[in-house]
């Protein structure tokens, strides 16, 4: 594809930018392209574990919430693959991550505006346009849409130990593993930790000598999927959230953690039932230590194994020996290296977060004619929904509307809860 000069250049083609790209198909006369460093679409391949299911409804796909007649919907995918009736009859509680990844890859294949094996190395701004440098060419664009995702996080003290025996869970499937006879420690009590613990006790990588699962949370806490919690993942709630102060937002993001980052209740049931089967029914008396309410604070290498220093929240310190340590300690937002030349021209909050606008633009010194949109970079500004798929189509539609300067997509949807202050005439005055 020839990219002489673009109106919009997307950096990264994960699900979030893929949604923007799919929604832009309704705008044929806007020259745009999305650049992805991978050779083909591949959604978190290192964590594509058997049986893992989406934590979000498949109806909240790349397009349906704002464009249900789009040819890029999950329903269209089912019909085209001849799976529609079988999918319904399977009565699955949630679509598998594998099938949703197939859907995403199918959309990616059909979009003519994606370019793979194209890592954006450097972005500069000269003479009213952005310059995107690749290994083999330069492309210019009026606007950018950053969709480079998040990076696996491990505590600083662990970075020096990363390797074959110490890894982030995000990479567990990226290499063959053999944990037979090993003492394995899983650090982190979110969904990733839960899924990997389940695989370990299911002996996917051999029969471990022991498995310890450490969570900083007070218990192995479930994802809150109740209806009023799910109302936090609606446009109406985001609109309310945007009206709050920075401090109020910070408090709410921390308080709402289990609405986005808890463990799926079905995974917790699978774990409990597996433990019951192994320990009680089969009587194998395996050394499986479930250790919530603790933080890993330090680790040292001793010969061919590691000593882990664990701080119990309410009691003393504990020490643990492990041959393999799997960090499931989450993901962090990072400024992509390619943005380095622009970093001084971008506005930052005092806490180091990007200064964002409600319309997903980053505040920067450039003019209106050169906008930088960002997806999955503003949990601090748009709330807990930002790193989730729930509103990806709605966010994509916001970006497309803003780019066009007109409402191509309808964005308003009613919610069930009055989140903000009611207007005076609607408040019933009791005499
Ligand atoms: C295992 C797992 C399961 C999840 N399941 C759910 C779920 O069920 N429901 C939910 O709501 N959320 C879920 N999430 C959270 C979130 O939806 C996903 O992380 C999602 O992939 C985020 O999409 P993204 O497009 O922002 O980032 P990513 O998927 O990380 O995509 C970013 C892309 O940018 C590319 N890139 C980076 N730098 C460059 C560059 N310089 N040039 C070109 N390309 C570049 C990368 O190669 C990558 O393909 C899950 C997360 C994980 C880790
Ligand atoms: N199948 C799926 O759909 C699927 C699979 C995987 C992930 N996901 C989603 O992807 C997102 C990321 O999930 P995740 O599990 O990778 O990350 P996460 O939800 O951020 O969980 C990270 C966990 O690590 C803990 N932690 C961090 N540092 C620690 C330390 N030093 N010692 C002990 N514990 C420590 C955190 O504790 P605190 O809570 O106290 O910070 C938290 O429990 C979530 O939204 C999740 O729902 C979905």
Q: Which sequence spans correspond to the domains of the chain?
A: 5-151+334-404, 154-222+262-327
Q: Which parts of the chain have pLDDT scores under 50? A: none
Give 154-222+262-327's CATH code, choosing from 3.30.429.10, 3.30.230.10, 3.50.50.60, 3.10.20.740: 3.50.50.60
For 361-376, letters b (16+ CB in 10 Å) and e give bbebebeeeebbbbbb
Give the number of other Cβ atoms within 10 Å of residue 252's Cβ.
14
Question: Cα(428) to centroid of ligand 2, in Å?
Answer: 44
- For 365, residues 6+ apart whose C-beta sits below 8 A from its C-beta are 345, 346, 347
| Ligand 2 atom showing the smallest separation from residue 169 Cα | 16
Question: Cα(13) to centroid of ligand 1, in Å?
Answer: 8
Pick the closest to residue 146 from 324, 331, 371, 312 (CA basis). 371
Yes or no: say if 395 and 239 are a contact pair by the CB < 8 Å rule.
no
Per-residue pLDDT of 207-244, as tens digits, reads: 999 999 999 999 999 999 999 999 999 999 999 999 99
**Atom 52 of ligand 1, residue of closest alpha carbon:** 44
Yes or no: say if 233 and 206 are a contact pair by the CB < 8 Å rule.
no
Size of the chain, expressed as the number of residues it contains: 431
**Atom 46 of ligand 2, residue of closest alpha carbon:** 261
Question: Cα(188) to centroid of ligand 2, in Å?
Answer: 6
Whether residue 216 has its Cβ less than 6 Å from ligand 2: yes
Structural element, H or E, at residue 300: strand 294-302
Q: Please state the three-class secondary structure of 191-251 as a single string.
A: HHHHHHHHHHHCCCCCCCCEEEEECCCCCCCECCCCHHHHHHHCHHHHHHHHCCCHHHHHH
- The mean predicted confidence, pLDDT, of the chain is 96
Question: Cα(191) to centroid of ligand 2, in Å?
Answer: 6
Pairing of strands 138-146, 317-322: unpaired
pTM of the full structure = 0.96
Per-residue pLDDT of 368-398, as tens digits, reads: 999 999 999 999 999 999 999 999 999 999 9
Give the number of other Cβ atoms within 10 Å of residue 7's Cβ.
16
Whether residue 262 has its Cβ less than 6 Å from ligand 2: no
What fold does the segment set 5-151+334-404 form as a domain? FAD/NAD(P)-binding domain (3.50.50)
**pLDDT value at position 426?**
62
Ligand nearest to the CA of 168: 2
Helix (H, G, I), strand (E, B) or coil at 72: coil
Whether 154-222+262-327 and 5-151+334-404 are alike in CATH topology: the answer is yes
Cite the beta strand spans of 101-170 per DSSP E. 114-115, 122-126, 129-133, 138-146, 150-152, 166-168
**Atom 29 of ligand 1, residue of closest alpha carbon:** 14
Whether residue 119 has its Cβ less than 6 Å from ligand 1: yes
């Amino acid at each position: 594809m020839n990219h002489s000069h673009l109106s919009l250049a997307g950096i990264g083609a994960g699900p979030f930018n893929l949604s923007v790209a799919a929604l832009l198909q309704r705008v044929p006369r806007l020259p745009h392209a999305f650049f992805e460093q991978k050779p083909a679409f591949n959604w978190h391949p290192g964590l594509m574990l058997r049986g893992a299911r989406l934590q979000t409804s498949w109806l909240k796909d790349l397009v349906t919430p704002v464009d249900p007649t789009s040819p890029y919907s999950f329903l269209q995918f089912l019909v085209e693959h001849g799976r529609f009736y079988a999918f319904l009859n399977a009565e699955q509680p949630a679509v598998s991550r594998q099938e949703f990844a197939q859907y995403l890859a199918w959309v990616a294949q059909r979009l003519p505006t994606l370019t793979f094996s194209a890592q954006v190395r450097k972005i500069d701004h000269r003479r009213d346009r952005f310059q995107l440098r690749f290994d083999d060419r330069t492309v210019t664009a009026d606007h950018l849409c950053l969709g480079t995702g998040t990076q696996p996080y491990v505590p600083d003290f662990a970075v020096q130990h990363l390797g074959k025996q110490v890894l982030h869970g995000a990479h567990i499937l990226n290499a063959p593993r053999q944990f037979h006879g090993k003492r394995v420690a899983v650090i982190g009590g979110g969904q990733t930790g839960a899924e990997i613990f389940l695989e370990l006790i299911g002996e996917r990588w051999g029969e471990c000598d022991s498995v310890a699962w450490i969570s900083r949370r007070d218990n192995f806490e479930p994802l809150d999927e109740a209806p009023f919690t799910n109302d936090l993942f609606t446009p109406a709630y985001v609109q309310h959230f945007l009206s709050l102060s920075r401090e109020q937002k910070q408090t709410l993001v921390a308080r709402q953690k289990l609405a986005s980052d808890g463990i799926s209740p079905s995974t917790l049931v699978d774990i409990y039932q597996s433990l019951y089967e192994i320990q009680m029914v089969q009587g194998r008396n395996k050394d499986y230590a479930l250790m919530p309410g603790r933080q890993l604070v330090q680790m040292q290498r001793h010969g061919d194994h590691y000593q882990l220093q664990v701080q119990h929240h309410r009691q003393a310190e504990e020490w643990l020996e492990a041959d393999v340590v799997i960090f499931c300690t989450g993901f962090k937002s990072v400024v992509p290296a390619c943005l380095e030349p622009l970093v001084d021209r971008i506005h930052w909050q005092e806490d180091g977060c990007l200064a964002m606008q409600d319309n997903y633009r980053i505040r920067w010194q450039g003019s209106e004619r050169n906008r930088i949109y960002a997806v999955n970079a503003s949990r601090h500004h748009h709330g807990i929904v930002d790193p989730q798929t729930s509103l990806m189509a709605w966010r994509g539609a916001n970006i497309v509307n803003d780019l066009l300067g007109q409402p191509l997509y309808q964005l308003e949807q009613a919610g069930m809860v009055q989140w903000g202050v009611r207007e005076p005439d609607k408040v019933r005055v009791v005499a």
